[in-house]
Amino acid sequence: MSDSQASPKGRLFLMMVLELAVWGAWLPLIFGYLPSLGFSPTEPPAVLAPFVPDFLKWLFSEQGMILNAFPIAAIIGMFFSNQYADRHFAAERFLAFSHLVGGIAILLCGFVHTFWPFFWLMFIHCLLYVPTLSITNSIAFAHMKDPQREFGLIRMGGTIGWIIAAWPFTFILVDWAKVDAANPQGVVAWFDIVLKSGLTGDALKAATKWTYVVAGIASLALAGFSFLLPHTPPKSKAEGAADSLAWLEALRLLKHPFVLILWLVTFVDSFVHNCYFNWTGSFLGAAPSAGGVGIPGNWIMPVMTIGQVAEILTMLVLGVTLKRFGWRRTMIFGILGHAARFAVYAYFPQSAGAIVAVQILHGICYAFFFATVYIFVDAYFPKDVRASAQGLFNMMILGGGALLANSICPRLIQQTFTHNGITDFKGLFLLPTFVGLGAAAVLALFFHPPAIPTDKAAPGSAPH
């Protein structure tokens, strides 16, 4: 059956599952894994150290360079995917190539333990992976009859993929010596002891290499599956010419105060959001005596995916919430979700139940702010610059905010707030709590968008 006869929805859904499974496999635990390899949170690699001034060491530290491979690739990739890749390659072929080479690179990260090989493999992976976030969207939109109705359901596959990527580690990050010593009798007893025997400490960090293996397998699977996707030819030269000017037009829209305020608040909220990924895994896995929650290693990633389950449910009520409360209040709810989660971390670190339950706020944080920003841009920006405007905000969401967080968060948790092996998680988590509250206040006071232009003219053409 040809593409014109068969609905591609199932293939597009599976494409999204595999796309986000790659990222979801390696991201949550990398922040605790890099210190175990001896990579410094404050010092640049030896070959660069003589050339890096003291005030930039936090940016060019070994951990900072590896963690920032993704946001730097995001900044480069936004231009590459919009300005080059989708005008010169069939989308499904570009997807196949990127995931083949990028998949091999991320898989090899699990088997190297020295800085430069690890850094270059991670950078190659990120440089090829980031554009595929846009390319998969392009493929999906090109083959949907009603994007407004269909895209949400297809994109939900990505959230499910992120969740699915976490659950194999319930059985991978297990202390099998402890299981063998217990000698469980019967299947039920075996599962019971396995689920209670997660790795901890150095053993957990060493076993984290398998997250890169799983990410590589998912990436290689998508590379092969890409040949089964419907053909999506490159854009025409006329479309490409328009795109080349769209970035300039999108930047000019920052002259409107409400656009500039939202852009800067997006940067701040992205920073807070990435503090969560930098610190939560280490916080959940650290022993109570070291200030943490003490969750077994094989349960850390599944606990963190509770937020993605909540995200699915929150997305279902987002439309109703926007109609009921409007843009500003909905976005403020999203930012306050970050602040509330970190406040619970700070004041109830010994309450595992509260820490697990508060992961639900991830859905509010993501849907009510980041997803709402994407919808807002689609509603307010003229069609000819809308894609580039999305890239402008994505540069803050995936690039700028992550770049700042990945540069300073390792130093904060490993040195500034940790002394004699004990981390002051309360002081650590109050920092993003107050930053989030400040961002919500700025949005409440200064973000006043005009009525939506009925003709999709440029923002600011309608009265404030």
Average pLDDT, the chain: 86
Residue 459 has pLDDT above 50, yes or no: no
Whether pLDDT at 13 is above 90:
yes
Q: Which one has a higher pLDDT value, 463 or 357?
A: 357
**Could you tell me the two tokens for 192?**
């019971």
pLDDT of the residue at 204: 87
Segment 47-85, tens digit of pLDDT: 999 998 887 887 899 999 999 999 998 888 766 655 666
At CB < 8 A and 24+ separation, what contacts does 54-60 make?
58/407, 58/408, 58/411, 59/407
> Do 424 and 417 touch, CB atoms closer than 8 A?
yes
Percent of the chain with pLDDT over 90: 49
How many Cβ atoms sit within 10 Å of the Cβ of residue 234? Answer: 17
Mean pLDDT check: name the lowest of 137-146, 270-279, 434-443.
137-146
What's the rounded Cα separation, in Å, for the pair 399 and 373?
A: 16
Query: Which CATH entry fits the domain spanning 1-173+208-235: 3.30.830.10, 1.10.150.120, 1.20.1250.20, 1.10.3720.10?
Result: 1.20.1250.20
Q: Where in the chain is the domain with CATH 1.20.1250.20?
A: 1-173+208-235, 246-464
The answer to whether 183 touches 41, Cβ cutoff 8 Å, is: no
349 contact partners, CB below 8 Å, separation of at least 6: 283, 291, 292, 293, 355, 425, 426
Q: For residue 99, is pLDDT > 50?
A: yes
Query: Does the pLDDT of residue 205 top 60, yes or no?
Result: yes
Tens of pLDDT, residues 406-436? 999 999 999 899 988 899 999 999 999 999 9
Q: For the domain with range 246-464, which CATH number is right: 1.20.1250.20, 1.10.287.70, 1.10.40.60, 3.90.1170.40?
A: 1.20.1250.20
pLDDT at 88: 74
d(CA 67, CA 84): 25
Percent of the residues in the chain that have a pLDDT greater than 70, as a whole number: 88
User: How confident is the model at residue 5, as a pLDDT?
Assistant: 47
Distance CA 401, CA 397 (A): 6
Quote the CA–CA distance of 123 and 218 in Å, as a whole number.
Answer: 18
Given a cut of 50, is residue 462 above it in pLDDT?
no
pLDDT tens sequence across 251-292: 788 888 999 999 999 999 999 999 999 999 999 999 898 889
Q: Is the pLDDT of residue 361 over 70?
A: yes
More confident residue, 209 or 134: 209
> Smallest Cα–Cα separation from 15: which of 213, 226, 159?
226
How high is the pLDDT of residue 428?
96
pLDDT at 377 over 50: yes
Comparing 20 with 188, the larger pLDDT belongs to: 20
